[in-house]
Structure 1
Amino acid sequence: MARSLFLLSLAAAVPAALLSGALTWAIRPLMMRIALAKPNARSSHRIPTPQGAGIAVIAATLIAAAAVIGLAGPADMKIPATVFGATLFIAAVGFVDDVRTLSVAPRLLLQGAAVAAVILAAPEGLRIVAACPLWLERGLLIIAGLWFVNLVNFMDGLDLMTVAEIVPVTGALVLLGWLAELPAPAMVAAAALLGAMLGFAPFNRPVAKIFLGDVGSLPIGLLAGWCLLQLAWHQQMAAALLLPLYYLTDTTVTLFRRMARREPFWAAHRSHFYQRATDNGFSAPRVVGEVFALNILLAALAIGSALTSSAATAVVLLIIGGIATAFLMRRFSRRLPLSG
């Protein structure tokens, strides 16, 4: 069984990587004409750079995942069509926003519709807290899903940052699939997304030749969020929180700080801890490298929490992950001492 799961994930990841790289290379000239990202208050880049590589990443992910699942055969290897449809829909919303900026209200409504479609299409038997009324749990999940989709977008503000987040997260999800702690369809989707991000990575290393754009960050958030939700629905809540813990903490703390200061939190800004790090003397590769290292630690803790039968141990691992995350955020918020 483990060998067949390994082969399935490999069959999804490798073609996705090759297709993502080829499509990114092919569409870059077009994106330079129609989706050029000019520096603004949020940007870390200083020269106009094309965005829209998310088209390649998402196309490669969905094609590879659909092909593997279609060839696998068994009914329990299916990904709900709603997940694919919602991913394409939110990618289209993101592309429109990349080309012609949407105002906040319609953007959130359209994103919320995509998230709600995924959540509400799930079987009623999938529950995180059985004692909680179904309508309340699903409502809270829609809000959480909308936040997760947007936080992935918010954090996509530095070369390779999203790669440094999504590669460890999806890699851990694939490993959890091999260990039978994650349903096989979610494992295949994670493997395809992992491969697609690796195929995109060479084009996004500093100085980036192309960005994901909202057409990439939003559907990546939706797909990764759906995979993490599968963990939560299968009573692996600690793992589901540990894997994206840095993104969750950075964006949530930043949001509340801006709200407390009565700042327009919906406007472009450079208040995230990873952005403050570059302002405090950290180079972009160093920031991304330290985030990647933290995410590897969080992935190890998540796998450990999924494998333990002790709820107390899982909580301890979650606390360790929280301490490590807080340490890195504090480090980013302080000016780097001058050498020499």
Structure 2
Amino acid sequence: MTALPILPSLLAVAVAAPISALITWTSHPLLQRYALARPNARSSHTIPTPQGAGIAVILATLVVALGWAAWGLVTIPAALVLATIVIALVGFVDDLVSLPLFTRLLLQTACVGAVVFTAPGDARLVPALPLALERCVIVLGGVWFVNLVNFMDGLDLMTVAEVVPVTAALGLLGWWGDLPSSAALLATALCGALLGFAPFNKPVAKVFLGDVGSLPIGLLLGWCLLELAWSGQIAAALLLPAYYLVDSTITLFRRIARREQFWLAHRSHFYQRATDNGFTVPRVVGEIFALNLALAGLAILTVRAGSTTVTLLALLAGVIAVAVILRRFSRPQAS
């Protein structure tokens, strides 16, 4: 596997950040007029706030990644680019006028399926399984991942606090040759785009990503993690997004067990319960950011150590770290 040179990665961050910031700033008046998110009983914000600035993040990411691809530095799958655009358009329409659940899931499944089923046949996670069955399972997991990133984008800077450490870690692994250069370059471009968006989304946010941002971010990040898993680093691919995976999955099964309409918006996630339990928004995203830095360190350790024992210990440490944060968020803070 060819390592991604440091300079293109750093340039990807340096170029994507101002592009994202510029598009966010210039699009703000239009979003203020046509895509206003009004607070309701399930919201974490209290004043009407424009949504849809995720279009800046996605455009900046794709422009930089495709620019590097045009120079011959990397190869970005056409199916991934097209799927990202389609799923962003679906999110944009949903930001303006809510789409039916079945329509959203059908289009998301088609996008994820296009990416997964056009991947090389030798990209395998469990070679003992039939290829078609493995790919179907990956598509199911991919649709869930795309949606859980959307579900978890419910606080100011939340997605930045999650995705920046993950993409930075993926960039490092690309530099060391442990991740395909295409995935590493895309990850660093996404990292830069989110850093450019961050000043507009810090508490109290001036603008939100919206579904046009959170859904394609989930697709792009999921593809990068899948490439890491296909490279034989399944433990690292699970550790990096561990907080999002655990919070969303536990919340989903709890709602199903309570026979709630789990597909509707709610305030049941641990990070949402934390704000109800007395945590401030900066404290919640700060603790999640610190947790993700720790998880990124553990993920890198599993890859670089190349030891089964180290991998098992790192997975155990990651589970404990996530469990501690979830427990803290679910308990009221002392006055």
Give the structure-1-normalised TM-score.
0.97
What SS does the corresponding residue of 2:98 show, helix, strand or coil? coil
Q: Does 1:51 align with 2:48?
A: no
- 2:292 alignment partner, one of 287, 291, 295: 295
- 1:275 alignment partner, one of 272, 276, 296: 272
> Equivalent residue for 2:165?
168
User: 1:173 touches 1:190 (CA, 8 Å); kept in 2?
Assistant: yes
> Residue by residue, what CA displacement relative to the aligned partner does 1:286-315 show, whole Å, maximum 9, x if unpaired?
000000000000000000011122223212
- 1:246 alignment partner, one of 243, 256, 267: 243
Q: What is the rounded CA distance, in whole Å, between the counterparts of 1:120 and 1:145 in structure 2?
A: 12
1:2, CA displacement in angstroms?
A: 9.4
> Equivalent residue for 1:30?
30
Q: Segments of 4+ in structure 1 off by > 3 A?
A: 1-4
Q: Does 1:41 align with 2:38?
A: no
User: 1:39 touches 1:47 (CA, 8 Å); kept in 2?
Assistant: yes
Give the structure-2-normalised TM-score.
0.98
> 5+ unaligned residues in a row in structure 2: which ranges?
none
> Equivalent residue for 1:12?
12
What SS does the corresponding residue of 1:78 show, helix, strand or coil? coil
> Residue by residue, what CA displacement relative to the aligned partner does 1:80-124 show, whole Å, maximum 9, x if unpaired?
111111000000000000000011110111111111011011011
Q: Percent identity?
A: 62
> Equivalent residue for 2:218?
221
1:236, CA displacement in angstroms?
A: 0.1
> Residue by residue, what CA displacement relative to the aligned partner does 1:21-49 show, whole Å, maximum 9, x if unpaired?
00000001001111111112331001110
Q: What is the rounded CA distance, in whole Å, between the counterparts of 1:155 and 1:198 in structure 2?
A: 18
User: 1:41 touches 1:268 (CA, 8 Å); kept in 2?
Assistant: no
User: 1:150 touches 1:221 (CA, 8 Å); kept in 2?
Assistant: yes
Greater shift, 297-306 or 308-317, is seen at: 308-317
Matches within 5 A, 1:323-334: 323-334=320-331
- 1:141 alignment partner, one of 138, 141, 153: 138
User: 2:3 touches 2:176 (CA, 8 Å); kept in 1?
Assistant: no
> Equivalent residue for 1:152?
149
Q: What is the rounded CA distance, in whole Å, between the counterparts of 1:315 and 1:154 in structure 2?
A: 29
What SS does the corresponding residue of 1:83 show, helix, strand or coil? helix
User: 2:270 touches 2:330 (CA, 8 Å); kept in 1?
Assistant: yes
User: 1:11 touches 1:68 (CA, 8 Å); kept in 2?
Assistant: no
> Residue by residue, what CA displacement relative to the aligned partner does 1:171-217 show, whole Å, maximum 9, x if unpaired?
00000101111000101100100000000000000000000000000
> Residue by residue, what CA displacement relative to the aligned partner does 1:122-177 show, whole Å, maximum 9, x if unpaired?
01110011111101110000000000000000000000000000000000000010
1:3, CA displacement in angstroms?
A: 9.2
> Equivalent residue for 1:315?
312
Q: Does 1:100 align with 2:77?
A: no
Q: What is the rounded CA distance, in whole Å, between the counterparts of 2:41 and 2:260 in structure 1?
A: 14
1:316, CA displacement in angstroms?
A: 1.6
- Flag the 1:112–1:41 CA change in 2: closer, same or farther, 3 A: farther
Q: What is the rounded CA distance, in whole Å, between the counterparts of 1:223 and 1:42 in structure 2?
A: 27
> Equivalent residue for 1:124?
121
Q: What is the rounded CA distance, in whole Å, between the counterparts of 1:104 and 1:315 in structure 2?
A: 39
> Equivalent residue for 2:256?
259
User: 1:65 touches 1:189 (CA, 8 Å); kept in 2?
Assistant: yes
User: 2:94 touches 2:211 (CA, 8 Å); kept in 1?
Assistant: yes
Q: Does 1:86 align with 2:96?
A: no
User: 1:255 touches 1:265 (CA, 8 Å); kept in 2?
Assistant: yes
What SS does the corresponding residue of 1:207 show, helix, strand or coil? coil
Q: What is the rounded CA distance, in whole Å, between the counterparts of 1:242 and 1:65 in structure 2?
A: 25
User: 1:42 touches 1:157 (CA, 8 Å); kept in 2?
Assistant: no
Aligned residues: 335
User: 1:153 touches 1:214 (CA, 8 Å); kept in 2?
Assistant: yes
Greater shift, 307-316 or 133-142, is seen at: 307-316
Q: What is the rounded CA distance, in whole Å, between the counterparts of 1:116 and 1:228 in structure 2?
A: 16
1:229, CA displacement in angstroms?
A: 0.2
1:79, CA displacement in angstroms?
A: 1.0
User: 2:174 touches 2:181 (CA, 8 Å); kept in 1?
Assistant: yes
> Equivalent residue for 1:202?
199
User: 2:4 touches 2:185 (CA, 8 Å); kept in 1?
Assistant: no
* Counterpart residue type for residue 114 of structure 2: A
1:4, CA displacement in angstroms?
A: 6.2
Q: Does 1:110 align with 2:110?
A: no
Q: What is the rounded CA distance, in whole Å, between the counterparts of 1:306 and 1:278 in structure 2?
A: 35
- Flag the 1:20–1:134 CA change in 2: closer, same or farther, 3 A: same
